[in-house]
Amino acid sequence: MAATPDVTDTEPRLEDLVDTAHRIRAAIESVIEGKGEVVRLTLTVLLAEGHLLIEDVPGVGKTMLAKALARSIDCPVKRVQFTPDLLPSDVTGVSAYNQQTREFEFKPGPIFANIVVGDEINRASPKTQSALLECMEEHQVTVDGLTYPLDTPFMVIATQNPIEMEGTYPLPEAQRDRFTARIAMGYPEPAAELEMLDVHGASQPLLKLEPVATTAEVRALIQAVRTVYVSQPVKRYAVDLVAATRHNPDLRLGASPRATLHLVRSARAHAALSGRDYVIPDDLQEMALPVLAHRLLPSLEAQGQRRHPEQVVTELVGRVPVPEAR
Amino acid sequence: MRLPVAAGLATAAVTTTLYPLFDGGAWLWASMGAILVTTLVGTAATRLAAPAWVATVVMPFALLAYVTAAFAASDAWLWFIPTPGSVARLAALIGSGFDDIQRYAAPVPTHDGIVLLTVIGVGLIALLADLCAVRLRRAALAGLPLLALFTVPAAVLTEAIGWIAFVLAASGYTGLLVADGRERLSRWGSAVVVRRSRSTGKTAPRPDTGRLALSGKRIGVGAIALAILVPALLPALSPAPLFQFGVGNGLGGGSRNIGIPDAIAKLSGELSQQSNATVLTYSSSDDQPRYLRIYSLDVFDGVKWTSSGLRGRPQDRVSEGPLPPPPGLSVSAPAGWAQTTISISDDVGPLRFLPLPYPPERIQVDGDWRADQSTLVVFSTQDEAAGLEYRVVTKEPRLTPEQLTASPPRPDGERRFLDLPDALDPRVEALARRVAEGASSPYEKAVKLQEWFTKTGGFTYSLDASGSGARALARFVLQTRSGYCEQFASAMAAMARMLGIPARVAIGYTGGTKIGDVWTVRTHDAHAWPELYFEGVGWLRFEPTPSGAAGQGTAQAPAYSLPVVRTASPTAGPTPEATSTSDDSADAARSARRDSRAFDRDLGAVPVVADPGLTVAAKVGIGAAAVLLLALVPGVARLLTRVRRRRLVSRGSSGTEAAWRELCDTLTDFGMARRPEESPRALGRRLTERYELDARTAASLTRIVTAEERLRYAASPAADGPVPADLAGVRRGLAAGVSRARRIGAVIAPMSTLLRIGAAGERGLDLFDRLEGLRLWPARRSAAGGPALNRSALDGSALDGSARNGSALTGSTVNNAGNTSTVEGPAGRTEGARR
């Protein structure tokens, strides 16, 4: 199982990528039944060096997904349960005085891992939430004036309950913008739920999950994704798509340039996962909804009409013409 | 600003239709100058936002200054400020212009007088158009003065107005309407905007009226095209009947144009025509030449001789039996019977009268021909004389001189045969009395009159004379004594009326010349002659026009009209009997109305390009074939394209692109929409699912689609592209999914080619639009309004066309609200960014 491809190869081949990704997917899906699309998106975000926001009601397997991903890759995983009294230092780590060495010593927090699962992130105070921002964007932690770099790959998988639930602090726009994509788990199909009862009733499948890829492998995959070709028309198409959100009367706030960047990156990952070494508009269309929707603010009228940003994005994708010119 | 210019352009466009009326182009430039002057005044008034009446008041003065500068500069002060001298000069020019109009038929020479009159007329039309369209803001109403101008060539020209002229004029008017619509809309928009810009110090965008104008133009162009094409295509109507209100004969002098004189005024054209084509041939039982009468004109209104109308009741059909007896003949006289067989040339124009010897008794002819009771003129409202052959039996009473002399002065004759216009010079009547001095009976007076015209009066025959109105008549009788049949006939008829003899003018042909066994009547035999009425005898033909080489060649005075008749025995002399022509009133009124209309139209009709013997069926056939060929063009073009693309695909080079284009066109042909937001891959997937393509076809489709996708988006194109078989397979597979009608349509009238043709047309329209959008001076507001407009255009790029207009308009309203009410921060920011 622990097949180790030539990780020193600087030019990772696309076939290896597809193969490895397939293994990871299979591993996760052995734990999470009937959520192929969600798993695929999660992988896409991982390969796009992004962070994932999973939003849904409690108990649909958000944490399970994050853990399964973490376990299937042989890498350090930390989990932070966000609560209203959680402090920033609880996330990033503290400098503690060492009696023996008589020096301050940095005790790394849970953020120092390849995959960080932030559970119920919207239950933490805004102060703690923002502590996460620097780490996510800059891949580094600064404590007491000292900067500590984070390992690669670094991915934050945050879960949150819908804002309407009690005792939550909604994530500010700036922080939402830092997540590459937001997905919703959704309830499982009756058949999948039935199967889950069988499997989970007997044992804990998560514990039986063996890692199927190494950190080095994932790093190589990420490297491979970076080489996926994005032609000029496709770039223009991405810009058009994002720009369309900024001029839409249904939206109060359009997507940021960072969104464009994330969109193209995840489209690259999407293309690579499909075994293609170039991005096509379909990749962008596929990724537009998870990448863009959570960054948009509906206008007052749209809110009145109960038009969600998801709807608006779907409409835009169906309206912006696909580039023809070469 | 746009409107006065559009009004000027419209007037100029209609003015160009006058072109065939003139012999030379000087008038055109002068008229354009007048339009320019009015347009400049109008534009200036609009620009300065002057009250509406100012332009209308200033314009006549500007026009006066212009004509002064153009026609009487030497007498004017500073070349354009009118002085009494210059005004007198202009007045003199106008006078000579009116004379010239009397004298010449179209195309008239560009003498100063005529040009001046034209310029004044055109200038006034331009003024009226400006008044209606710009000052009163009733652009549609401006069509009336323009139409008045347009009817001038329509009414005067002998030929139908060309479709190009019609297109020009109609385009001008359409342009005016479009400009008015745009102006209206932009004004409506800016009213909102101006208020706002004052309060915020920002200039708001003007509503984008371009798209609206474009659709307006499309409708206009479509309507004009329909107006031209539909009448030409409908087999029920003759080609381009819209323009056939033109009248006249073959004055144009085309080599194969011949005609029949339709009104007295057109005779000179007939007679002076270069070609002398055969109009008809006839043979008669007694082998005598006979004058063939077509019309009889009984009303002299001082300008010309016209007909008071014809009545042809169903029971007056010539097929119903003998014609009504000749009016007025009551004396008993031996009758000279003669049968004449007449065949009219095919090349004669749309003539709806039969040339007949007088008095006809019985006619054998095909078609619905009816005789007018009082004049025995035979006409039809449905059939045409061209190509007809018919037989006429005439019954000419042989009258003795005694019977003629015995005819008393008519006591209570019909007044209309004695009416004379008041404008007639009294000296003419005095002259008539002097000529008839010594004659006791009406008949003798008539003979003396004819003798005076032909012998003693010193008249000469000349085609240079013109007109037969009251003034022309007086000049002819009193001064020049030179003219042709028109003057002679009308002068004798008028003078006979002065002497109390009922008279009318007949139009037709002389007997012609005998060639072989038949008498041949040619264009130059067109003729006019007076018919005089004698109590108890009826209508008799007289011949005042000189005959022979120095006159109308084949004219022949009837024996009874010559003075020698007194001693010689009478030979030929027509005349009818005297049942008074009573009308049954109700029927008369009704049919009079109908027939006068018919008469007008037929009078109006005539010249025709002689066509080389094509029947209507052949014409329809040729037309249909041409239409068919034209209709096949798109299909053939599509086929050629397909073959070419298949070759490209098989060759490999740029085959991917060709295959893709072919796929797109095939989709268009089959009416399967390709959505712009659909990537090649998505298209392939959709097609496969929607039309349930089999595996092989789906694979072909995927090959085409993937190759195109790689070509577009990948770093390097695919190694293996589609093959020709893929194209054919996909086409077959797709064809299976549509109806048979669709499949046939895709071959015969492929939508892709039609759309391409349409797009070419659109580009033409866009060019037109750009031309119109040219600004002579920079618009003040465009600098500030530009970016905003651009942004809204960008906004619109994501939306479809209709939504775009909507957002441009509603957008400004929303913004307005944003300025007055408080909107929370992010919303305000967004709005601001979007504006």
Q: What is the DSSP letter of A152?
A: S
Percent of chain B's residues with pLDDT above 90 = 2
DSSP label at residue B549 = T
Regarding the domain delimited by A14-221, which CATH topology (the fold level of the hierarchy) does it fall under? Rossmann fold (3.40.50)
User: What's the pLDDT tens digit per position in A247-293?
Assistant: 888 888 889 999 999 999 999 999 999 888 899 999 999 999 999 99
Distance in angstroms (rounded) separating the CA atoms of residues B40 and B46: 10
To probe the interface with B, which of A279, A282, A301 has the most B CB atoms within 10 Å? A282
End-to-end CA distance of chain B: 27
Per-residue confidence (pLDDT) for residue B412, from 0 to 100: 56
Contact check, Cβ <8 Å, A277/B714: yes
Confidence of residue A229 (pLDDT cuts 50, 70, 90): very high
Q: Which helix (H) or strand (E) holds B769?
A: helix B751-773
Residue numbers in A near B830 (CB within 8 A):
251-254, 299
- For residue B252, the model assigns a pLDDT of 32
Contact B681 A280 (CB under 8 A): yes
CA angle B525, B526, B529 (to 5 degrees): 110
Kind and range of the H or E run holding B43: helix B26-47
Q: Give the mean pLDDT of chain A.
A: 84
Whether residue B819 has pLDDT greater than 60: no
Helical pair A14-29 and A36-47, crossing angle rounded to 10 deg = 130
Counts of helices then strands in chain B (DSSP H, E): 25, 20
Query: Is B713 close to A282, i.e. CB distance below 8 A?
Result: no
User: Distance (Å, rounded) from C-alpha B573 to C-alpha B396?
Assistant: 6
Looking at residue B243, what DSSP letter applies?
G
Q: Name, in order, each residue with C-beta under 8 angstroms of B707's C-beta and a sequence gap of 6 or more.
A: B656, B659, B660, B717, B718, B720, B721, B722
Q: How far is A221 from chain B (nearest CA, A)?
A: 20
Which band of pLDDT confidence, cut at 50, 70 and 90, is reported for residue B803?
A: very low
Which band of pLDDT confidence, cut at 50, 70 and 90, is reported for residue B808?
very low
Q: Say if the Cβ atoms of B678 and A280 lie within 8 Å.
A: no
Strand partners, A105: A96
A240 in B contact zone (CB under 8 Å): yes
Q: How many residues does chain B have?
A: 835
Among B550, B549, B547, residue whose Cα is nearest residue B561: B547
Residue A189 DSSP class: P
- Beta strands B608-609 and B360-364, pairing class: unpaired
**How far is the C-alpha of B134 from the C-alpha of B4, rounded, in Å?**
6
Neighbours of B486 (CB within 10 A): 32
Instruction: Please check whether residue A257 touches B, CB under 8 A.
Output: no
Q: What is residue B238's predicted lDDT score, i.e. its pLDDT?
A: 40
Q: Which residues of B touch A320 (CB under 8 A)?
A: 677, 798
Place of tokens 């005004």: B87
- Residue for token pair 């912006």: A320
DSSP B564: G
Rounded to an integer, what distance in angstroms lies between the CA atom of residue A271 and that of residue A265?
10
Q: Which of B705, B712, B789, B790 to mutate to test the interface with A (most CBs of A within 10 A)?
A: B712
pLDDT at position A1 over 50: no
Cα distance between residue B25 and residue A222, in whole Å: 81
Q: Which residue has the tokens 């004759």?
A: B413
Tell me which of B160-169, B619-628, B681-690 is least confident: B160-169
- How many other CB atoms sit within 10 Å of the CB of residue B791? 16
A318 part of contact set with chain B, CB < 8 Å:
yes
In this structure, what are the phi and psi dihedrals at residue B299, rounded to the nearest 5 degrees? -115, 130
Q: How far is B762 from chain A, CA to nearest CA, in Å?
A: 21
For residue B236, the model assigns a pLDDT of: 44
Residue with tokens 């055969």: B278
Three-class SS of B120-182:
HHHHHHHHHHHHHHHHCCCHHHHHHHHHHHHHHHHHHCCCCCCHHHHHHHHHHHHHHHHHHHH
State the average pLDDT over residues B667-685: 86
C-alpha B305/C-alpha B530 separation (Å) is 11
To test the contact with chain A by mutation, choose from B683, B706, B712, B713 the residue with the greatest count of A C-beta atoms within 10 A, namely B713
**Contact present, A45 and A165 (Cβ < 8 Å):** no
Whether chain B has a CB inside 8 Å of the CB on A317: the answer is yes
Question: How many angstroms separate the most distant Cα atoms in chain B?
Answer: 122
Residue A322 has its nearest CB partner, among B678, B794, B811, at B678
Touching check for B817 and chain A: CB below 8 Å? no
What is the token pair recorded at A242?
Answer: 């994002």
What would the DSSP string read from start to end of A192-242? HHHHHHHHHHH--HHHHPPP-EEHHHHHHHHHHHHT-B--HHHHHHHHHHH
Give residue for tokens 């790029």.
B797
ipTM for this model: 0.81
List b or e across B495-518, with b for residues whose CB sees 16 or more CB atoms inside 10 angstroms. bbbbbebbbbbbbbbbbbeeeeeb
Q: Which of B200-214, B246-260, B575-589 has the lowest mean pLDDT?
A: B246-260
Instruction: Among A30-44, B328-342, B462-476, B799-813, name the most confident range.
Output: A30-44
| More confidently predicted of B616 and B137 | B137
> B292 Cβ partners below 8 Å, 6+ apart?
B280, B282, B342, B355, B356, B357, B508, B509, B511, B521
Domains of chain B in start order, with CATH, are: 2-242 (no CATH), 260-403 (no CATH), 404-506+527-566 (3.10.620.30), 631-752 (no CATH), 775-834 (no CATH)
The reported pTM is 0.49
What Cα–Cα distance (Å) separates residue B39 from each residue in B53, B124, B288? 15, 12, 66
* Greatest C-alpha distance within chain A: 69
Residues shown for chain A: 326
Burial of B716 (0-12, 13-18, 19+ CB in 10 A): exposed
Burial class (CB in 10 A: 0-12, 13-18, 19+), B735: middle
Picking from B372, B359, B365, B377, the residue whose alpha carbon sits closest to that of residue B290 is B359
From CA B818, how far away is CA B815, in angstroms rounded? Answer: 5
* Better pLDDT: A51 or B258: A51
Q: Residue A235 above 90 pLDDT?
A: yes
3-state secondary structure of B342: strand
**How far is A213 from B343, CA to CA, in rounded Å?**
108
**What's the pLDDT at B273?**
63
Chain B contact for A324, CB < 8 A?
yes
Strand-pair category, A251-253 with A77-81: unpaired
pLDDT in tens, A69-117: 888 888 888 888 888 888 888 888 888 888 888 888 888 888 888 888 8
pLDDT the model gives residue B234? 57
pLDDT average, residue stretch B757-768: 80
The whole-number pLDDT of residue A269 equals 93
pLDDT for B672 equals 82
Q: Give the pLDDT score at B36.
A: 92
A128, A91 contact by CB (below 8 A): yes
Q: Please report the sign of the dihedral spanned by the C-alpha atoms of residue A188, residue A191, residue A193, residue A195.
A: negative
Pick the range with the lowest mean pLDDT from B128-132, B217-221, B682-686. B217-221
Q: Give the closest of A233, A248, A321 to B713, CB-based.
A: A233
CB contact under 8 A, A246 and B826: no
pLDDT at B587 over 60: no
Chain A contacts in chain B segment 774-803 (CB below 8 A): 791, 794-795, 798-800
Q: Are B715 and A252 within 8 A, CB to CB?
A: no
Peptide bond into B359 cis (omega under 30): yes
Quick: pLDDT tens for B562-581.
Answer: 765 444 444 444 444 333 33
Q: Is the sign of the CA dihedral B691, B695, B698, B700 positive or negative?
A: negative
**What's the CA angle centered on B17, arms B16 and B18, to 5 degrees?**
90
Nearest to A247 among B676, B679, B794 (CB): B794
Report helix, strand or coil for A170. Answer: coil
Model confidence band, residue B777 (pLDDT cutoffs 50, 70, 90): low
Average pLDDT over chain B, rounded to whole? 74
Which residues in chain B have Cβ-Cβ distances shorter than 8 Å to A277? 714-715
- CATH number of this structure's domain A228-317: 1.10.8.80
What phi, psi does B695 have (nearest 5°)?
Answer: -60, -40
Residue A154 identity: F
**Which among A249, A317, A321 has CB closest to B807?**
A249
Can you list the alpha helix ranges (DSSP code H) found in B411-539?
426-435, 442-451, 470-475, 485-498
Q: Mind listing the pLDDT tens digit for each residue in B11-53? A: 998 888 888 788 778 888 889 999 999 999 998 988 888 888 8
Per-residue pLDDT, B773: 63
Residue A153 and residue A219 in contact, taking contact as beta carbons nearer than 8 Å: yes
Residues of B in contact with A244 (CB under 8 A): 798
Angle at the Cα of B316 from the Cα atoms of B310 and B319, rounded to 5 degrees = 130
Question: What pLDDT score was predicted for residue A264?
Answer: 94
B741 touches chain A (CB under 8 A): no
Distance from CA of A309 to the nearest CA of B (A): 15
A247 touches chain B (CB under 8 A): yes
A145 lies within 8 A of chain B by CB: no
Angle at alpha carbon of residue B690, lines to B687 and B696, rounded to 5°: 55
Residue A238 confidence (pLDDT) above 90: yes
What pLDDT does B824 receive?
A: 39
Domain map of chain A by residue range? 14-221, 228-317
> Which of B713, B826, B834 minimises the CB distance to A280?
B713
Yes or no: say if B398 and B413 are a contact pair by the CB < 8 Å rule: no
Report the distance separating Cα B139 and Cα B126, nearest Å. 13
> d(Cα B32, Cα B298) in Å, to the nearest integer?
43
User: What residue has token string 């932070």?
Assistant: A80
Count of other CB atoms within 10 angstroms of residue A167: 10
Q: Looking at A29-33, A101-105, B344-348, B564-568, which range is the least confident one?
A: B564-568
Q: At residue A155, does pLDDT exceed 50?
A: yes
Q: Does A201 touch chain B if contact means CB atoms closer than 8 Å?
A: no
State how far residue A58 is from chain B, nearest Cα, in angstroms: 32
Neighbouring C-beta atoms of residue B382, cutoff 10 Å: 9
- What H or E segment, with its residue span, contains residue B608? strand B608-609
Among the residue ranges A132-136, B207-211, B814-818, the one predicted with the least confidence is B814-818
pLDDT of residue B269: 61
* Chain B touched by A281 (CB under 8 Å): yes
Residues whose CB is less than 8 angstroms from the CB of residue B184 and which lie 6 or more positions away in sequence, other chains included:
B137
Strands (E), B333-469: 335-344, 360-364, 370-371, 378-379, 389-397, 460-461
Q: Could you tell me if A252 lies within 8 Å of chain B, comparing CB atoms?
A: yes
* Average pLDDT score over residue span B772-788: 50
- Tell me the C-alpha distance between B789 and A161, whole Å: 43
Q: Which of B255, B358, B817, B270 is nearest to B576 (CA)?
A: B358
CA angle at B757 for the pair B751 and B763, rounded to the nearest 5°: 135
Chain B residues with CB-CB distance to A322 below 8 A: 676-679
- What is the pLDDT, as a whole number, of residue A51? 92
Enumerate the residues of chain B whose CB falls inside 8 A of the CB of residue A324: 712
- Measured between beta carbons, the chain B residues lying within 8 angstroms of A248 are 798
